[in-house]
Structure 1
Amino acid sequence: MTDARTADQRIDPDSGLPILAMPRDGLPVVVDTAEALSECIRELGDGTGPLAIDTERAQSFHYSAKAYLLQFRRADAGTWLIDPEAFEPSPGADADFTALREATSSAEWIIHAATQDLPCLVEDGLWPTSLFDTELAGRLLGLPRVGLGPLVEKYFGLHLLKEHSAADWSTRPLPQDWIAYAALDVELLVELRDLLEEELDKAGKLEWAHQEFDHLVEVYRTPAPPRVEPWRRTNGIHAVRSRRGLALVRALWTHRDQLALDLDKAPGKIVQDKAITELAATITKDNHKVPGPREMDTVMGFHHRLAKRYREHWLEACHEVAGLPAADLPSLQVAHDGPPQPRSWQRSRPEAWKHWQQVRPAANALAAELSMPPENLVSPDALRRLVWDPLPSVDAQAISERLAEHDVRPWQRTLLSPVLSAALRAE
């Protein structure tokens, strides 16, 4: 391919492929005025065919997972980059993109890895009525590498630079090479979508893909509810073995989270998870003395610049936990809204354990036969829920009905139910 995008003829030394260096239409401007936004909306609304979309975030730098740049491309409209912050009525307030949503609502949206981009798009008041996820299409096809770069290499023989993927996209003004990078992320999505759709159709998987895409549209139409006890996701928490130790994780996490919100910084930039759990793990019993300044000084993570600056917050958290009565300490057991991990089933739920040993290998074998990752055939959670409670019957219909209760799509149930029924009938 030789056009404006590869005019400089640079070659990637690792792949030996020409580098996708410049958008075919040149660098787009960043839309940051009301007049430019009106023109952008008009052009995208008048465009034809599907709409390619991407976002750029800055989660490694800022507290929020919001988008700091929105990228769009559509036939007969070209590429447009929008700065969402320029349209916020006040810092942190949501911009009003109602007109943009209405202008593009009839178009199929093409997103690579939609689960990453849809949450921040919905936050900006933008959501699709129809979707094509190029990453998910690659997974259903069983492709070994489904990142946008590898797919561009496979289908277009071009190398897509990804050196700015972890950049601080809140930076203004954006450097020109960043603008090129952002525009190139949507440059070939329409063409890629068409090629993947053709392969899905040939493989007999196109209807499967449509059901998956429709499911994503439905799931991500509204913002996700806040997590229950989000502090339990702190990395390294498995090493904390006492309830008072968990209380210290909770207190340190809460102080850090409020600081991160106030400072608009990624929590890990203030103090890392590892430091929190390492300090909390020193409490080996619920009545053990809570660590103080001396113990904190032995944890390297509390020596970093911002961690030292806010040292009084960590010491305050320790003081709070020292005074907690036993009744206020968190449980060692995580509250589940579904089955626990199967490793604990053998003694507590032997029948479920037996069925798990039958259905899991059968599902994995079917996924291999269909050339796709097992989790794209059926989520591990749905498979666990299938066998956790006794089934009224192990015939295919009963299994299909149980799977339907847990969001398993019709194409998955059609394929899985007879296979799992046969596995459960086998001795």
Structure 2
Amino acid sequence: MSGKADPRQPGEGTTSTTSRTRLDRGRGALGPALELVHTGRAPTRAVLTAELGVTRATAGAVAAELEALGLIQVDARPTAPSGSQGRPSHRLHLAENGPVALAAQVHADGFRAALVALGGRIVATAPGCEPVDADPAKVLGSVVDAGARLLSETGRRCVGAGLAVPSAVAEPEGLALNPLHLAWPAGSPVREIFAEQVRAAGITGPAFAANDVNLAALAEHRHGAGRGSRDLLCVATGHRGVGGALVLDGRLHSGSSGLALEVGHLTVHPEGRPCHCGGRGCLDVEADPMAFLITAGRPPGPEVSLLKQADDLIRHESADPGVRAAVELLIDRLGLGLAGLVNILNPDRIILGGLHRTLLEADPERLRAVVADRSLWGRSGSVPILACGLDHNSLVGAAELAWQPVLDDPLRALAAA
């Protein structure tokens, strides 16, 4: 070791070296940190530090890197609430004009495209009410074109695209196995078709596809009524049919090949209506909007979606005896199905979407009483039954598919987008 003095002045070069070292140590924490802010669990840098289990300096370097990537914003001059003690912490916000994911949803009455930012915030939407063609390529081409127009109009950077479809989607191929209400061929390769349309439109980033209720559950668990639940059961009916999903320990449970929780084919009325699956009296045909309209004696009209017609009847004509009787019957059918699921799955929370949310709001005590009477937890406690909290939660969930690579590795995903 020479006796020569270091020609640098005291501290010169050491600050930048230390910052790089802290960031290098924290690179593995970028994804977890972003997910904490994305799901609202780290509103300040102090909370982020505690949740990550790192030093304040490392948390600061991680937050600064996420800010440099255009994903979050850090308050430059934190202020403490009036009357509070101690050093105020920097607040963390999601970037107002940051990147977005293209989300698409196809249902029996049309489609919708949206741009969704981090935090599940919908930036722009483009509904499409054209008839759903029997050729999935035509429909997906239309919805991707609508999304491409939104991207052009807003000038936002896109990280990828996600698609929600009313069908079980088999993994790993991404095949829509039973798109009955869309008249698409069984086994349509929707993920491949969607990805081709996304590439053809010049949209960057990977493309994904999954079942709409699975995606609704994922969105609600991260941003809505399911936040904080460990074992979350979601049951919903949209425009046609009934679907279910389960989130276990924060992860969507899709089974060995993506086909778990096909709850629409639980029998709740053995002498009931014929079902597409070959059975009778399944939830799919006993507790969806079409079933409600038929039970209420109201013919479905072509000018308005089935879901809207059923919702409007419950909300605005509840005094009508036929409507009231239909509400009670569908609540009883739904409650019977939920009780069976509770006995099997033992969730700590149930959330209901679509028409089921409206039925819950119409008579919450009746539904809870039916489930309690027909399930084991009626004698051992109770599980909360709540309404889904997000509008367009399947769209938000579709965006979550596209955001996941960014949450896993922000640096790699944004470099590729």
TM-score, normalised with respect to structure 1: 0.26
Return the TM-score normalized by structure 2: 0.26
Structure that is richer in helix per residue? 1
Q: Which has the higher contact order (CA 8 A, sep 6+)?
A: 2
Greater strand share, structure number: 2
